[in-house]
Amino acid sequence: MAFPLFAARSVAGIAVFISAFLQISVCAAFIQTASLSTPREVHTATALPDGKIFIAGGTDGQSHWLPTAELFNPATRKFTATGSMNEGRTVFTATLLRNGKVLVAGGNTTDYAPLRSAELYDPASGEWTVTGSLNVPRAFHTATLLSDGRVLVAGGAQADNRTALGSVEIYDPNTGAWSLASSLMTPRCYHTATLLPDGRVLLAGGATPDSPAFASAEIYDPHNDQWSAAPPMSVPRHHHTATELADRTILIAGGQTGLSGTATAEIFDPAKGLWRVVDSMRHARYGHSAARLPDGRVLVTGGIESSSANTAEIYDPLSKTWQPALPMLKPRAGHTETVLPNGTVLITGGLDFGSFTFQSGSELFVPDVSPLKITALGSGAIQLTVTGVPGSAPTVFATTNLFTPWSPLGLAKETSPGEFEYINRSATARQLFFRIGNTN
């Protein structure tokens, strides 16, 4: 049922619309969660089979290339330390193998020299082991898990990040060795690589360190070890995102073209081998992150461009349009975005280019936040109770009126499924309320 709206406020990042009938409608929100043990940018985040998120490497902005790693537990919403890599590294790749281990390869080290080394993280023991080294040192490359369980590493930068690589190699988990494959048609770094439904791999965009962005794309066929040209994108771009949609097409969004970011987006259809331009984002951005939500939409956050640093927007494949989302709590670029088993999205680290602050804080994007109760306290005061993350204890907020800040009063207690109790200590009042669904 629709209700007339007379005010809109933001509670802990949650957009709350209050109606004359004291019912509320809540949309998707960003909420704060536990912080990383140290600030990180250009690190990796890998979803493990047990639901935990594995965070590794990156830089803290203090000339430290981090070897440390940590795990985020969605059940407790806390980070805990795990084993450290043998070498600190940034702009590397992390790939979850079929055996449950995580392969990290290449990247930059403290003197900005690309690495040849690769190592394996075992979630069962929390320990690292060195595996075979790359044939060619590289950073800013891509790594793609092939259909047969091997890992394709393509392109990247070499020699103090001044030369783009055309070399390609494949890691075999059974032997722990790398073998050279056919070279790219165009040397490139800062590109994207996406596994296609038929087992081939699409590389799109990129650049060389001293040249403009590429519009070109190429496809690798592991069955015959051959690269073939794909139609070019409509816009040259690098530092963009590539996200597979539910229909197995690939959404390319944003990126840097020339000296600035672009808001343009396009979709590659593997069945037709063609690109089609779609609705542009509301903000130009590059160095951003993207993830497909459980309902098939795509969440894009942050990036480099003054207007997009903390913004978020969502692409809807059904309407083929971008919709604005509430802003993140912190501006970020070079951060990670990982979907959790409950459908929320974990966002970690990154760099605020405006203040050049490296972020240790993390936040959760909650696609659907259900309100619990709103209560008139008299004299124009309002009390609002919201759940925050599904399954979590609801937080109670209060304000003297709709146009002054909300103050958190504390957490409510679930006394039985769907039934909550909150004791206002200052007023020594006990309140009982029930979970309700969204009214929009």
Interval 346-362: pLDDT, tens:
999 999 988 899 999 99
Same domain for 383 and 275: no
What pLDDT, on the 0 to 100 scale, is given for residue 128? 98
pTM (2 d.p.): 0.82
Q: Any idea which of 37-51, 76-90, 125-139, 389-403 has the lowest mean pLDDT?
A: 389-403
Residues 391 and 356 in one domain: no
- Name, in order, each residue with C-beta under 8 angstroms of 41's C-beta and a sequence gap of 6 or more: 58, 59, 60, 61, 90, 333, 334, 335, 349, 350, 351, 358, 359
Mean pLDDT over 259-275 rounds to 96
Same domain, 49 and 169: yes
Q: Can you tell me the distance from the alpha carbon of 157 to that of 155, in angstroms, rounded to the nearest whole number? A: 7
pLDDT: is 295 or 39 the higher one? 39
User: Exposed (0-12), middle (13-18) or buried (19+): which is 440, by Cβ within 10 Å?
Assistant: exposed
Residue 303 tokens read as: 């990036």
b/e burial code for range 71-90 (CB count within 10 A of at least 16 → b): bbebeebebeebbbbebbbb
Locate 293 and state its tokens: 């939500």
- Shared domain for 290 and 396, answered yes or no, is no
Q: How far apart are the first and last CA of the chain?
A: 7
Residue 436 or residue 434, greater confidence: 434
Total structural domains within the chain? 2
* Mean pLDDT over the full length of the chain: 85
Task: Fill in the DSSP letter of residue 88.
Answer: -
Place of tokens 């802990």: 12
Beta partners for 245?
Answer: none
pLDDT classification of 23: cutoffs 50, 70, 90: very low
Distance of CA 194 to the CA centre of its chain: 16
The 10s digit of each residue's pLDDT in 30-70 is 888 999 999 999 999 999 999 999 999 999 988 789 999 99
Residue 362 belongs to domain spanning: 31-366
190 and 267: one domain?
yes
103 and 50 in a common domain: yes
Whose structure tokens read 């919709």?
A: 323
Give 272: exposed, middle or buried? Use CB within 10 Å, 0-12, 13-18, 19+: exposed
- Are 232 and 281 within one domain? yes
Residue at 440 is within a domain: no
Residue 432: per-residue pLDDT = 53
Contact 330, 363 (CB under 8 A): yes
Query: Same domain, yes or no, for 261 and 283?
Result: yes
346 is a domain residue: yes
The answer to whether residues 14 and 138 belong to one domain is no
Give the pairing of strands 44-47 and 14-19: unpaired
H or E stretch covering 362? strand 362-366
- Whether 177 contacts 128, CB under 8 Å: no
The residue among 377, 419, 379 whose CA lies nearest residue 398 is: 377
**Residue 439 clears pLDDT 90, i.e. is over it:** no
256 plus 292 within the same structural domain: yes
Read off the CATH number of the domain in which 337 is found.
2.120.10.80
- In angstroms, rounded to a whole number, what is the distance separating the alpha carbons of residues 69 and 58? 10
Residue 56 lies inside a defined structural domain of this protein: yes
Rounded Cα gap, residues 179 and 153, in angstroms: 10
Domain shared by 407 and 302, yes or no: no
In a domain, 439, yes or no: no
Q: How far apart are CA 341 and CA 344, in angstroms?
A: 7
Strand 118-122 relative to strand 298-301, pairing: unpaired
State the burial class of residue 340 (Cβ atoms within 10 Å of its Cβ: 0-12, 13-18, 19+). Answer: buried
pLDDT at 21: 33
Model confidence over 147-191: pLDDT tens digits? 999 999 999 998 666 789 999 999 999 999 999 999 999 999 999
Q: What is the largest CA-CA distance in the chain?
A: 76
257 and 163, same domain (yes or no): yes
17 band by pLDDT with thresholds 50, 70 and 90: very low
Position with higher pLDDT, 394 vs 215: 215
Q: What is the mean pLDDT of residues 212-237?
A: 97
224 vs 424, more confident: 224
3-state helix, strand, coil in the chain (%, to 5): 0, 50, 50
* Percentage with pLDDT > 90 across the chain: 64
> If you average pLDDT over residues 294-320, what whole number do you get?
90
